[in-house]
Amino acid sequence: MAMAAVAANPSATAEDPEPHREAVPGLESQRRQIENGESGRERPLRAGESWFLVEQHWYRQWEVYVQGGEQDSSTFPGCINNAKLFEDQINWCLKKGLVEGEDYVLLPSAAWHFLVGWYGLEQGQPPIERKVVELRGTRKVEVYPVELLLVPHRDMGTPHSAQFSQIDSIDLVLRTAREKFLVRPEKETRLWVKNSQGSFERLCNTRVTVLDAALKSGQLVVMETRSKDGTWPSAQPQAGNKASKEDEDFQGQPGICGLTNLGNTCFMNSALQCLSNVPQLTEYFLKNRYLEELNFCNPLGMKGEIAEAYADLVKQAWSGHHRSIVPQVFKTKVGHFASQFLGYQQHDSQELLSFLLDGLHEDLNRVKKKEYVELCDAAGRPDHEVAQEAWQNHKRRNDSVIVDTFHGLFKSTLVCPDCGNVSVTFDPFCYLSVPLPVSHKRVMEVFFVSMDPRRKPEQHRLVVPKKGKISDLCVALAKHTGVSPERMMVADVFSHRFYKIYQLEESLSSILDRDDIFIYEVSGRSAICENSREDVVLPIYLRERTPARDYNNSYYGLMLFGHPLLVSVPRDRLSWDSLYHILLYRLSRYVTRPSSDDEDDGDEKDMAAKDSIPKPGHVAGGSSQNPGPEQAGPSSGVAGGSRAPVNNSPGPSHWPQRARRKHLFTLQTVNSNGTSDRSNFNEDTHGVSSSSQPYIAIDWEPEMKKRYYNEVEAEGYVKHDCVGYVLKKAPVRLRECIELFTTMETLEKENPWFCPSCKQHQLATKKLDLWKLPETLIIHLKRFSYTRFSREKLDTLVEFPIRDLDFSEFVKPQNESAPELYKYDLIAVSNHYGGLRDGHYTTFACNKDSGQWHYFDDNSVSPVTENQIESKAAYVLFYQRQDVARRAKPQPDLSDPPAPPACGQPPNSEFMDVN
């Protein structure tokens, strides 16, 4: 009965190992508290709460004890003893394969603590606490947690075992590993897991659970620590370990680090160097604040990969342990998510910058689930109210360090020209693309061909409206020549033929600067089509008969040469004989007429029947030589002569009965390419048809051409005084570009606005105003102009201030109490040298720590002075608002070491390679 007394009052004996147990209630009360009620084992499971394992035999003994109703010592269970549940008494690992109801029972936390309070726990045994997890909609107690083997990257031979619930986050695994391996707080770490194939995979998202990451017991988890030079040990190839150690020994100025050109990647290097020198963005990555904001679930993002790749570049560049780095991983990531940047073609630095800012924003967006936001018009409300609403709506879907740093707000005002309806909206922007004030004039070089055969062609340089017509070109030439514009025809000559003959109403934009434009004087009553005026304009080509290779060298081809002509012919003289003499007169400057010594022997049988000029397809003098079939297409410059029957039939002649002069060439009707087409010939007529095929070819025999055709004289031309004229490009100020950006404009026909009042698409007037300016303002100078017919780069010098760029007059409304909100200092410039196809990008940037400007040309970095920064190459400007980061350090001294001679000037071949 002594034992029963102890059971009834456990605290009454000195041998009790737990002298401070709670007062033990009656046996029936114990049973109700443990079995039923809110604290009992019958209560439902709740995710996240703790339950405890109790050995089955002990619990059944306790049930017998409380159900007996008597405090009999023979059934008293004693202290809770879970020894049968453990593998050993040292590590206290749970045995494998335990079954609920056979080996153990589960008790909620309250019931467990009641039993421990009443009966105590065997000395030295740990409680077996387990969490309730909800897996696929089902709640259960996780008896066997996931047991992971943790190892550091530097020593993978001795793994450390640690247990985690399936609902524990990967961040807990990382924190546990950091504690086990004594990693300092400032060090950055990441985790890898070894999969069933034996390869390692990154555990990128530390916010997911062990279950979501599909981690299983026994898997090896490797913790990697970033090196002091900003690289990850796993990213270093084995062959590069020696170079990596040399870089670690090198100590330079953080941020002064070049980027290797991987092949036409200077555009990427320039954009990265500019962005790397934005102080607040770089500090955000260097201090690892980005790790907490990586958004792996954003469908508009890149799964955090772009942000991580950019962070790796920033940490390496600002470690001070590299002279230059190879951005190969970043280039691969960019090409993976933006296929336009795949390969190694040249691209636009501003286009890459736009992609990168958008990618970083979505990868770091703090908004994990974007809500639908309806855009609202002003509808007469005050501007400040509508602007605040627009900015709040923008932030409800877009909230990141990119928005904090680079986003501002436009005010857009549209006015309907019909009903006067005014629409005011506020839209966010990431950068300003400002146009350059360009001249509305254009300089064009042309050659003028006079009707006077004694005058050589004249080269003219004409100033015409950029959006003018062909008629404007003729009017400008008329001022130099005195020839009326109505007596001019304009043609594009290419490869000895007319590529195009222009109409007066056509736009000048269809003519490229590289085109060879000839303007021909014609008679004032001429036209190239029939039934319009009294004279007909015939396009004339020059061809030479030349041997063409064949198996037997038996036939000849015809090759175009010289400059084609446009010749006015009176309609009543459209015969082959008349045309021959007209052309002989037009060619008289460089074609010599046969002398009396060159006359024929007067053999009648060699004379033509009526005209001594053969019909189309016939050779002069009835020559029996057969021209062969056509040899080449129009692109080769060779036009073949068709085979033609020989005309030896005698007949009356209009020539005097004496020896006639030789004919220097023959005439042939051809198509616009200069090739013959027999299907259009009409050999039964003596006239020239101008309706079906108004192109005529002058065909020369090689000997006749060599003897009578003066090639040097034919190619000769003179330069008019106007050729020395140069259209001066005066420099413009950045302020003018911004004024042009905020100037009211009328929408184009291709982009009308739908007026909600008129219910029609209207060419409304549009005006943009700056409402809210960002901390860092990116200004893109629109140097590249693209039209349907041409592309050009504007190399106008834009003068921009290094300090104190004031936007106060452009921002509405102004905060007069805080003028520093509108003043900016320059921090970086992306430069573009060269043309559209062979350009090169570089960067000027101011180091945030030293305040010194440097010139970044791929992997080469050199210091520069401020007076070298402004140049015609400036393309994208980065300005930082003065109130954001006032530099306490002194401004760079203008007497600093000079930069290479080409810095701030268009680079020459000795200074850099052009892609």
Catalytic residues: 266, 840
Q: Quick check: 510 and 439 in contact, CB under 8 A? A: no
Spacing of C-alpha 82 from chain mean position: 66
For residues 895 and 583, give the distance between their C-alpha atoms in angstroms, rounded to a whole number.
72
For residues 734 and 79, give the distance between their C-alpha atoms in angstroms, rounded to a whole number.
86
How many Cα atoms within 13 Å fall on the side-chain side of residue 234?
Answer: 17
Neighbouring residues of 363: CB distance < 8 A, sequence distance ≥ 6:
294, 295, 298, 301, 302, 303, 304, 305, 306, 307
Nearest of 659, 641, 679, 810 to residue 737 by alpha carbon: 810
* Other C-beta atoms lying within 10 Å of the C-beta of residue 340: 12
Tokens of 285: 């990555």
Nearest of 788, 861, 869, 799 to residue 828 by alpha carbon: 869
Rounded to 5°, angle at Cα 275 from 269 and 276: 85
DSSP state of 290: G
For residues 445 and 438, give the distance between their C-alpha atoms in angstroms, rounded to a whole number.
20
Q: Which residue has the tokens 């009790």?
A: 16
The bridge status of strand 517-521 relative to strand 526-527 is unpaired
For residues 690 and 744, give the distance between their C-alpha atoms in angstroms, rounded to a whole number.
52
Q: Quick check: 285 and 310 in contact, CB under 8 A? A: yes
The bridge status of strand 535-547 relative to strand 526-527 is parallel
Buried b (16+ CB within 10 A) or exposed e, 97-129: ebeeeebbbbbbeebbebbbebbbbeeebeebe
Identify any residues that bridge with 222 across adjacent strands, giving them in sequence order: 151, 192
Tokens of 461: 């340089």
Q: Quick check: 430 and 353 in contact, CB under 8 A? A: no
Neighbouring residues of 116: CB distance < 8 A, sequence distance ≥ 6:
80, 127
Residue 570 burial by Cβ neighbours in a 10 Å radius (0-12, 13-18, 19+): middle
The bridge status of strand 517-521 relative to strand 488-494 is antiparallel
For residues 206 and 735, give the distance between their C-alpha atoms in angstroms, rounded to a whole number.
48
Q: Which residue has the tokens 């070089």?
A: 445
Neighbouring residues of 500: CB distance < 8 A, sequence distance ≥ 6:
491, 492
For residues 404 and 406, give the distance between their C-alpha atoms in angstroms, rounded to a whole number.
6
Query: How large is the angle between the packed helices 109-119 and 27-35, nearest 10 degrees?
Result: 150
Identify any residues that bridge with 94 across adjacent strands, giving them in sequence order: 86
Round to the nearest angstrom and report the end-to-end CA distance of the chain: 101
The H or E element that residue 362 is part of is helix 349-363
3-class secondary structure, 414:
strand
